[in-house]
Amino acid sequence: MGRLIVISNRVGQPDDTRGASVGGLAMALGAALREYNGIWFGWSGRTVETFTGQLSVQRGQGATIATVDLEEQDRDEYYNGYANRTLWPLFHYRIDLSAYERSFNEGYARVNARFAQTVLPLLEPDDFIWVHDYHLIPLARELRRRGVKNRIGFFLHIPWPARRLFATLPLHRELVEAVFDYDLVGFQSHDSLSAFEDYVRGEAEGEIDSGGIDSGGIAQAFGRRVRLGVFPIGLDADAFMAAAWGEAAAAWRERMRVSLAGRRMIIGVDRLDYSKGLEERFLAYEEYLANTPEALEQVFLLQIATPSRDEVEAYQEIRARLDAVTGRINGAFATPDWVPIRYVNRTYRRDELAGIYSMAAIGLVTPLRDGMNLVAKEYVAAQPPEDPGVLILSRFAGAAEQMEEALIVNPFSREEVSDAIEAGLAMPRDERVRRWESLIEGVRRHDVAAWRDAFVEALLAAPCSPADRLATAEP
């Protein structure tokens, strides 16, 4: 079998198994690259005055990491622009925040072409290529233009939006047409897959051959075919469970036990992003406090919110709003020896986080939209089997399709979330254990290795050259 070439906007540190880095992608791909003899290519995160296409290659134990520097204009138009100000909000159903600017689109096209040009000399004929996420949707098209015939798969970590929303993107057809240069396209959830299929049928005059398999079928449009599938991402579950019972976790458990002083903890852990529904969560929790006087001084919410993308204005705004809402709620409810919300804007190591999760009676995971949401799975993986906490999960996270034994809520409804907090805190131990056993079974079965193997297997079975793809497009 050829080598696996992973291409994503940023590369992770696959040798760092404890992973102090933030973001599900880095954690998931580290495990994938250790398994295969992989090369991971992406942007170094650095900018230079003039793009040179110079590769910087680092050979580690598990994988080779290759990076390239971009220009400042690339960072502004491609990364902070098209990726994070156009596609991210749109794909998370926030068209009110989406910026549609031609310069962003030009920057996106330019950087995808630069990525293709730079990675080209690394490729060998047997390699198979796995491209990740919304930053690089047109990468296969750029590689095909340069004669690359290898199998290329694409995995979207974030949701695919509903057809009518997606159609608000100028050049939406071009973006979808570029998807048809892949051999395989993977989504996190059936919800995303069906939104994409709906677009293909409704806007691209295409057809879907469902094939009757769980992992999707074949889409036909623009005179071409692409295989589609659902590949829900998971955790390195065994490693995370082990981390939850290691030394650093134990130290945090003890620290939290003292600081809990008999109170019950609700926990949220998120990148500080408007898609995560933090403001709505705080307001729902406020509603719970207002309606449940007996909870005052007995419960608190620990929200770890790691600052993210702070060069983008919408992120500065959500941060300021959260500061204000937290201050208001704490001001209204706090007593000299109790604050209702402990709001923390910093990063912890994964094993420390695991220890903190394990002490929480409730994991409150209420994104307004999320491709998957790994925090929901981490919370479950860190629970003590004999006395597990309760997961409250948004129905709009991809994870909700798999985690039916969580308390599933509509994150836009304060009352519903407030009721779920009340129900979670009152849930008897045998019901908590029953739900948790079912949840942990899913977390372990659908782990990151299963995700990787399912995607790679499907990619290796998919058509492998533009010629094949054109040939198979004929009726």
Please provide the size of the chain in residues: 475
Residue nearest to ligand GDG (CB): 24
x/- map, 152-171, ligand GDG, by CB under 6 A: -----xx-------------
Stretch that binds ligand GDG, among 23-31, 121-129, 190-198, 209-217 (CB under 6 A): 23-31
Q: Are 349 and 309 in contact (CB under 8 A)?
A: no
Q: Which of residues 28-57 bind ligand GDG (CB under 6 A)?
A: 28
- Name which of 220 and 383 has its Cβ closer to ligand GDG: 383
141: contact with ligand GDG by CB under 6 A = no
CB of 269 to ligand GDG, least distance (A): 5
Distance CA 157, CA 78 (A): 18
Distance CA 407, CA 427 (A): 11
CB of 240 to ligand GDG, least distance (A): 9
Q: Which of residues 327-366 bind ligand GDG (CB under 6 A)?
A: 347-350, 353
- Name which of 73 and 308 has its Cβ closer to ligand GDG: 308
Q: Which residues pair with 302 in a beta bridge?
A: 267, 342
CA 378 vs CA 158, 196, 234: distances in Å: 18, 28, 9
Per DSSP, 138 falls in state: T
Using CB under 6 A, which of 371, 389, 411, 463 touches ligand GDG?
Answer: 371
Using CB under 6 A, which of 14, 24, 153, 277 touches ligand GDG?
Answer: 24
Q: Are 195 and 163 in contact (CB under 8 A)?
A: yes
Which amino acid would we find at residue 107? G
- Name which of 27 and 267 has its Cβ closer to ligand GDG: 27
- Residue 154's Cβ-count burial label (10 Å; 0-12, 13-18, 19+) is buried
What DSSP element (H or E) covers 305? Answer: strand 299-306
23: contact with ligand GDG by CB under 6 A = yes
CB of 74 to ligand GDG, least distance (A): 22
Q: Is 127 a catalytic residue?
A: no
Q: Is 392 left (phi over 0), alpha (psi -120 to 50) or beta?
A: beta
304: contact with ligand GDG by CB under 6 A = yes
- Name which of 158 and 266 has its Cβ closer to ligand GDG: 158
Per DSSP, 401 falls in state: G
Task: Pinpoint the alpha helices (H) of 120-236.
Answer: 139-145, 163-166, 172-179, 190-202
Cα-Cα-Cα-Cα dihedral sign, residues 107, 112, 115, 121 = negative
- Name which of 51 and 155 has its Cβ closer to ligand GDG: 155
- Name which of 23 and 466 has its Cβ closer to ligand GDG: 23
Joined together, the tokens standing for residue 395 give 């129905």
- Name which of 346 and 426 has its Cβ closer to ligand GDG: 346
Stretch that binds ligand GDG, among 17-25, 254-262, 327-335, 419-427 (CB under 6 A): 17-25
- Binding residues for ligand GDG, total number by CB under 6 A: 26
- Among candidate residues 74, 157, 273, 447, the one labeled active-site is 157
Per DSSP, 395 falls in state: T
Using CB under 6 A, which of 27, 278, 322, 400 touches ligand GDG?
Answer: 27
Cα-Cα-Cα-Cα dihedral sign, residues 9, 12, 14, 15 = positive
Distance CA 460, CA 455 (A): 9
Q: Is 157 a catalytic residue?
A: yes
20: contact with ligand GDG by CB under 6 A = yes
- Name which of 127 and 378 has its Cβ closer to ligand GDG: 378
373: contact with ligand GDG by CB under 6 A = yes
215 contact partners, CB below 8 Å, separation of at least 6:
229, 230, 231, 454, 458
> End-to-end alpha-carbon separation of the chain, Å?
31
306: contact with ligand GDG by CB under 6 A = yes
Per DSSP, 428 falls in state: -
Q: How many CB atoms are located within 10 Å of the residue 429 CB?
A: 10
Phi, psi of 337 (to 5 degrees): -120, 25
Q: Which of residues 185-224 bind ligand GDG (CB under 6 A)?
A: none
179: contact with ligand GDG by CB under 6 A = no
Q: Which of residues 252-281 bind ligand GDG (CB under 6 A)?
A: 269, 271
CB of 312 to ligand GDG, least distance (A): 14
CB of 375 to ligand GDG, least distance (A): 4
Binding-site ranges for ligand GDG (CB under 6 A): 20, 22-25, 27-28, 157-158, 233, 269, 271, 304, 306, 347-350, 353, 370-375, 378
User: Which residues are the active-site residues?
Assistant: 157, 370
